[in-house]
């Protein structure tokens, strides 16, 4: 370690962490250092480029706060989030696939009953969502907990447009409900629309420099949890959206695309008389049984 | 791009940047995505680990300000800074080697004359530094600009212990001077001591988790510039330091180790009568000629 050179630096770093007592951390950091150094060698990163990278990460850090998570955006736009999602959620082909979590989930969203309007004042064309949650044999999963969240018709989630947080925060177009005995659920919300990810910061500058747009195809977020099943984090994407082939965060899976059906003014599925056109979405979810880890006997 | 899976995600990301008009950026980002994804696959990074990484980077971003650059510390402690330094500063064997720049250089340090005391009140044992700057043939490089900076005897640089910045900032143990006609320089400062890098933040937590210490061996920073020569950014390390074999930022090169000679109270090299013990350091620098890039004729 007294004669560090281009040829010896990587081994010196690896040697320095060889004594790490946390096996998993040592494995992760050993691989990280190897890949980070290999990248730096492959492109022969210059000192100016290194400094630009430092400045970029500094800017990503400084724009990040309790409402904006630019590091997650960076991970999303580099396909890292989707890679982590897919490699950790391999499911049988008959189960509903996962996609990225995204940065806009909020803890503590209000609980609703089936049939409620979760938009809570968020602007958008009315939309009635229905579906069932089942196991792989088609049996209903009763009382499954559904978290739903989405943007308004301008493409903003409530957390992006409000100044309050915690109790002062007004939840709009997000909520939690439970499936009925037959595994079904239904609620009213608003039409999902395409929107750009926040692109007025360093990640937006990166996308522009790369010749990429910041748009996501219209989608509705779901997180579904029930005892005995793997937690499912996914979206339903709106068929026909122009960005399905170029989602800025690489989240689209063809099995998750569904049709939002447009209806003229008239009777909604729940009997409400609608004065304006409205939409309906029907989508069923199939949960994967939880893997039971056997407890080792000492 | 409609059917993203673990197997297709990397190619989808690469395809999305294939239209980037900046060739160099496309090359860098293509390699970065490949290595980032390969790392994620190699260790089969879990969702929890991914989220811990997001939290770690967020913490690195939030502790970084105009005085503390935790991203540079992170780069330094992972050996990335030294790799970038070494691969961009290949010099003939007779030239003085480079090492890491570090996060404590400050623009606008005061200009001094040869013989001045640059400590400006920083605490430490007195030290008289002398040397010459020459070309590879041993010819003097006159009027070369030397930037020198170091910590005080508690291991802190002036920027770490003062609240002011810019004009309000008081520069201590740092300064700029120029070589004389014969290439020589001499100044008074304080003895360099070993010190830990700032380790009360996320990088310190990382080092602790990895079983590493945060110490750097005692050193004096130099940046030397002269027309016709490559800029030299380096340190001189103090022989005998216990951390020479385990520098937290992997900066040590054996050719940069020199002896700080201790003297009892008495006459200093510049004739000053010293009431306390003092040190002397003699170190010469050899600059590499600048590569002249030929201008292409249209």
Per-residue pLDDT tens over the stretch B13-65 = 999 999 999 999 999 999 999 999 999 999 999 999 999 999 999 999 999 99
pLDDT for A80 beyond 90? yes
Same domain (yes/no): B35, B173: no
Domain shared by A96 and A141, yes or no: yes
What percent of chain B clears pLDDT 90, i.e. is strictly above it? 89
Q: Same domain for B137 and B6?
A: no
| Residue in chain B nearest A249 by alpha carbon | B13
The predicted pLDDT at position A298 comes to 44
Of B13, B44, B81, the CB nearest to A79: B13
In this structure, is residue A54 part of a structural domain? no
- Are B252 and B184 members of one domain? yes
Say yes or no: B98 and B38 in one domain.
no
User: How many Cα neighbours within 13 Å face the side chain of B209?
Assistant: 15
Residue A67: partners with Cβ closer than 8 Å, 6 or more residues away: A159, A160, A165
Q: Which residues of B touch A6 (CB under 8 A)?
A: 83, 86-87, 90
Residues B8 and B76 in one domain: no
Check residue B298 and give its pLDDT: 44
Answer whether residue A139 shows pLDDT above 80: yes
Positions of E strands within B122-162 = 126-134, 145-149
Residue A55 lies in a domain: no
Residue A6 sits in the same domain as residue A95: no
Distance between CA atoms of residues A80 and A72, nearest Å: 9
Above 70 in pLDDT, residue A106?
yes
E strands in B126-197: 126-134, 145-149, 174-178, 184-190, 195-196
Q: For residue range B104-123, list pLDDT tens digits in order.
A: 898 889 999 999 999 999 99
Number of H helices and number of E strands within chain B? 7, 14
Q: How many CB pairs under 8 A join A and B?
A: 231
Q: Which domain holds residue B12?
A: 1-43
- Worst-scoring range by mean pLDDT, A20-24, A125-129, B158-162, B225-229? B158-162
pLDDT score of A297 more than 60: no
Q: Residue B189's closest CA among B102, B270, B135? A: B270
DSSP label at B275? S
* Total residues belonging to chain B: 298
Q: Which of A54, A87, A247 sits opposite B44 (nearest CB)?
A: A87
A contacts of B49 (beta carbons < 8 Å): 28
Return the pLDDT at B294.
Answer: 54
Residue B4 to residue A45, Cβ atoms within 8 A:
no
**Distance separating alpha carbons of residues A218 and A211, to the nearest angstrom:** 21
Minimal-distance CA residue of chain B relative to A13: B79
Is pLDDT above 70 for A165?
no
> Which among B140, B158, B161 is positioned nearest to B150, based on CA atoms?
B158
Q: What mean pLDDT is predicted for residues B179-203?
A: 97
Q: How many domains does chain B have?
A: 2
CA distance B15 to chain A (A): 10
CB contact under 8 A, A250 and B9: yes
Q: Is residue A258 part of a domain?
A: yes
Task: Judge if B276 and B176 occupy the same domain.
Answer: yes
Q: Which pair of tokens denotes residue A253? A: 């899976």
A199 Cα to chain B: minimum distance (Å): 17
Verify that B1 and B85 share a domain, yes or no: no
Single out the residue of A75, A187, A235 nearest to residue B45, CA to CA.
A75
Specify the pLDDT at position B164. Answer: 53
- The structure's pTM equals 0.91
> Is the same domain home to B224 and B266?
yes
Q: What is the ipTM for the molecules in this complex? A: 0.91
Is B25 within 8 Å of A50 when comparing Cβ atoms?
no
Share of chain B above pLDDT 70, in %: 95
Residue to test with chain B: of A21, A32, A70, most B Cβ within 10 A: A32
Whether residue A215 sits in one domain with residue A164 = yes
Nearest residue of B to residue A4, measured between CA atoms:
B253
Which one of A3, A5, A84 has the shortest CB-CB distance to B50? A84
With respect to residue B153, please indicate whether it lies within any of the assigned structural domains.
yes
* B135 in the same domain as B250: yes
């Amino acid at each position: 370690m007294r004669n560090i050179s281009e040829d010896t630096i990587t081994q010196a770093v690896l040697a320095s962490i060889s004594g790490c007592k946390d096996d998993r951390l040592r494995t992760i950091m050993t691989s990280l250092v190897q890949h980070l150094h290999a990248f730096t060698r492959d492109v022969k990163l210059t000192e100016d480029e290194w400094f630009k990278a430092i400045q970029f990460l500094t800017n990503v850090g400084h724009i990040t706060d309790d409402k904006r998570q630019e590091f997650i955006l960076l991970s999303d736009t580099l396909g890292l989030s989707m890679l982590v999602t897919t490699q950790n959620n391999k499911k049988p082909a008959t189960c509903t696939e996962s996609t990225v979590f995204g940065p806009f989930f909020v803890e503590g969203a209000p609980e609703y009953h089936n049939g409620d309007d979760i938009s809570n004042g968020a602007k958008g064309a009315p939309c009635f969502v229905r579906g069932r949650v089942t196991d792989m044999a088609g049996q209903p999963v009763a009382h499954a907990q559904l978290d739903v969240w989405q943007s308004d018709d301008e493409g903003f989630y409530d957390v992006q447009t409000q100044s309050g947080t915690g109790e002062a925060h007004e939840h709009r177009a997000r909520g939690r409900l439970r499936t009925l005995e037959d595994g079904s659920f239904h609620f009213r919300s608003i039409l999902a629309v395409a929107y750009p990810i926040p692109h007025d910061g360093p990640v937006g500058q990166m996308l522009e420099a790369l010749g990429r747009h910041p748009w996501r195809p219209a989608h509705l977020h779901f997180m579904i949890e029930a005892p005995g099943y793997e937690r499912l984090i996914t979206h339903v994407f709106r068929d026909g959206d122009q960005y399905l082939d170029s989602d800025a965060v690489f989240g689209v899976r063809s099995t998750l695309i569904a049709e939002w059906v447009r209806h003229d003014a008239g009777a909604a599925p729940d009997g409400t008389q609608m004065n304006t056109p409205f939409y309906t979405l029907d989508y069923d979810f199939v949960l994967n049984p939880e893997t039971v880890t056997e407890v080792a006997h000492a």
